[in-house]
Amino acid sequence: MTALTSRKPARLAPWEERPSPVGQFGKGTLVTMIVVAVLGPLYTIVLTSLSSSATVNRAGGLVLVPDGITFEAYRQIFSDTVVSRAVLVSTGVTLAGTLISTGVSVLGAYSLSRPGSFLHRPLLFSVLLMFVFFPGIIPVYLMVSGLGLKDGYWSLILPTAVSAFNVVVLRSFFMNIPGEVLDSARIDGAGEFLILWRIVLPMSKAVTAVVAMFYAVGYWNAWFNAMLYIDDTRKWPLALILRQYVVDSNPLPAATAGVTGDAPPTLAIKMAIVVIAVIPALIIYPFVQRHFTKGVIVGAVKG
């Protein structure tokens, strides 16, 4: 638990008792098992992505035993100019989308965090209903094309900009902030925007970072909207471009076998795509994690 209090948490707090050797051993074993359970399969994925097609063909599936390493799959993916363009599109959409979504959700969640306020219940209920009832694809499509958003980047952001889950989670964290902190600010004459900006947000860094990450990961991996709304392949995000690498020719009937060409994408390329898809998340997670390490609320109350 020391992690919560200190920037250098590698030591136990003075008040904390020494852990028992048995407990330490048990925990160590458990953690090792968990890590192995994930890294084992990950090893075969990475290994397969680094294997030649001959090795993959011999294995008839994921490669377990290394037999020469080649970066051919990655070279092939990144030499594709379409891919580098799509990286730009995805980066832009993810940045803009995350900013908009997080902003809108924080504002929305805060506006719903005061029971008894004007129109509180109907507004909250309208968000809650988003959990259980869904509009069909066709009405949303008509709306997007009716607003003239088709074939534009906004069609990748606006229809999925608000996630009810994220709003409700943010709201729940906001409501855990002690009421007296907000009340004293109000008595000092602070408006709602100021309270949100100066008090609530600084005290909710962890959850805001997590929600921003949820949105970012969602935008980065989203392909369905692009598939539906974007006709021009030059505006396709990475997720949609990469999907084309991993398609299976399985559903194709005999006569059309020729249309996939004589050398369908190898398993090595598919696995390279899997690896590539995980990388951005690995990059942003440490930034999010940084906000987990402090007892933020107590700081704010004291200060």
Please tell me whether residue 69 binds another protein under the rule CB under 8 A.
Answer: no
φ and ψ at 11, to 5 degrees? -115, 160
**Whose Cβ is closer to another protein: residue 91's or residue 114's?**
114
Whole-number Å distance between alpha carbons of 237 and 156? 9
Q: How far is the CB of 95 from another protein (least distance, A)?
A: 18
Whole-number Å distance between alpha carbons of 215 and 247? 26
Please tell me whether residue 70 binds another protein under the rule CB under 8 A.
Answer: no
Please tell me whether residue 30 binds another protein under the rule CB under 8 A.
Answer: yes
Q: How far is the CB of 223 from another protein (least distance, A)?
A: 8
In the window 121-140, what residues touch another protein (CB under 8 A)?
A: 121, 123-140
End-to-end CA distance of the chain: 23
**Whose Cβ is closer to another protein: residue 91's or residue 284's?**
284
Please tell me whether residue 239 binds another protein under the rule CB under 8 A.
Answer: no
**Whose Cβ is closer to another protein: residue 92's or residue 151's?**
151
- Nearest CA to 85 out of 236, 254, 239, 288 is that of 236
Please tell me whether residue 29 binds another protein under the rule CB under 8 A.
Answer: no
Please tell me whether residue 301 binds another protein under the rule CB under 8 A.
Answer: yes
In the window 137-196, what residues touch another protein (CB under 8 A)?
A: 137-145, 147, 158-162, 165, 167-169, 172-173, 175-180, 182-183, 186, 191-193, 196
In the window 251-280, what residues touch another protein (CB under 8 A)?
A: 251-265, 267, 274, 277-278
Q: Which stretch binds another protein (CB under 8 A): 27-35, 66-74, 90-98?
A: 27-35
User: What would the DSSP string read from start to end of 133-195?
Assistant: ----HHHHHHHHHHTT-TTSGGGGTGGGS--HHHHHHHHHHHHTS-HHHHHHHHHTT--HHHH
Number of residues that bind another protein (CB under 8 A): 163
Please tell me whether residue 201 binds another protein under the rule CB under 8 A.
Answer: no
How many degrees, rounded to 5, is the angle at CA 152 between CA 218 and CA 168?
30
Whole-number Å distance between alpha carbons of 105 and 93? 17
Q: Which stretch binds another protein (CB under 8 A): 45-53, 67-75, 89-97?
A: 45-53
Q: Which stretch binds another protein (CB under 8 A): 66-74, 77-85, 91-99?
A: 77-85
**Whose Cβ is closer to another protein: residue 92's or residue 135's?**
135
Q: How far is the CB of 114 from another protein (least distance, A)?
A: 5
Whole-number Å distance between alpha carbons of 297 and 200? 10
Distances (CA, A) of 271 to 73, 148, 246: 9, 38, 9
Please tell me whether residue 218 binds another protein under the rule CB under 8 A.
Answer: no
Residue in 69, 88, 95, 227 binding another protein, rule: CB under 8 A: 227
Give pairs for 185-191: CB < 8 Å, separation 24+. Answer: none
Whole-number Å distance between alpha carbons of 93 and 114? 32
